[in-house]
Amino acid sequence: MSADFTITVSPDFSPDHIAGWYIFNTWLQRKLDVGIHLELYDDFESQRAAIAEDRIDIIYANPFDAAMLVREKGFEAVARPHGKTDEAVIAVSADSAAKGVEDFQPGLRVARTDDPDVNMMGLIMLEPADLHRENIEQQQAGNYVLVAKALLRGEADAGFFLKEAYDDLSRIIREQLRVLITSQIGVIQHCMLAGPRAAELRAPMIAALLAMADDAKGKGVLEAMGLQSWDPLDQEDTEFMIDLMDTLVS
């Protein structure tokens, strides 16, 4: 089957689920009877460049990018993952003197990835200590294991993690770290969106995703992606998410 469309996934997916997204793409092509190419990007910057050049038709998007996709590129809501919201953790080395965020001082060295919604939540959780972009030093790491390593080596004082990624760290690493604060926001979610060229696929895709957990095959694919099922997402839900993100971005 030749690829008529291109799908991509927010680069913050867990490495354990790469195979799952390939399996999902095969499943989706069979369900929709069209050719779809899965293009994965190593980082948000290269993915955003592809979106800017209109090379993406379907995306499992980070909520941070939803405003740009919907308002600038005309993407529309398809579905959102059931029971899966993005939460952030600020962790320190187990022997850090900090007992809470308010113990941090200007000049704090923060290790983080390029995951935009986690970094936004992490910065919000530093605000009670009067810390912000201008008075902390941010160090970008390629993934969450490297964020943890920066803490263990004493190269950073605090690390921003996606909660799910923190929980997936090995027990040995987690035993050498300590969680200072975990967000409990509950409304920031990734979402599946379809672009203008894939508009004809939107309705059949909604139907296929919402029924995905009803059969054994679909369920197996969901498990491989680390998801339980999909919930409906209408355009107003997406607009609300965009408004919410808008209030959080300074």
Partner 1 sequence: MQDMKASDVAGEYREVTLTYHDGSSRQVLVTENEVPYPEGKLIVSRTDNAGIITHCNQSFVDMSGYSEAELIGQPHHILRHPDMPAAAFGDLWDTVQRSEKWHGYVKNLRKDGNYYWVYATVIPNVRKGEVVGFTSVRRKPSRRRVEESASLYAELLKGEAQ
Give 49 or 187: the residue with its C-beta nearer to partner 1.
187
- Which of 68, 124, 152, 173 binds partner 1 (CB under 8 A)? It is 124
Reported residue count of the chain is 250
Rule CB under 8 A: say whether 127 interacts with partner 1: yes
Answer whether 111's CB lies under 8 Å from 155's CB: yes
Q: Which residues contact 3 (CB under 8 A, 6 or more apart)?
A: 35, 36, 37
- Which of 187, 199, 203, 207 binds partner 1 (CB under 8 A)? It is 187
Rule CB under 8 A: say whether 186 interacts with partner 1: yes
Give 68 or 248: the residue with its C-beta nearer to partner 1.
248
Q: Which residues contact 162 (CB under 8 A, 6 or more apart)?
A: 12, 86, 87, 88, 89, 115, 118, 144
60 beta partners:
9, 192
Answer whether 158's CB lies under 8 Å from 181's CB: no
Give 19 or 187: the residue with its C-beta nearer to partner 1.
187
Task: Please identify, among the stretches 29-37, 125-133, 141-149, 190-198, the one whose residues bind partner 1 according to the rule CB under 8 A.
Answer: 125-133
Q: Hey, what are 46's tokens?
A: 């290269």
How far from 51 is each of 43, 135, 224, CA to CA, in Å? Answer: 13, 32, 26
Rule CB under 8 A: say whether 123 interacts with partner 1: no
* Interaction mask 82-111, partner 1, x per CB under 8 A: --------------------x---------
Site residues, partner 1 (CB under 8 A): 102, 124-125, 127-130, 181-187, 239-240, 243-244, 246-248
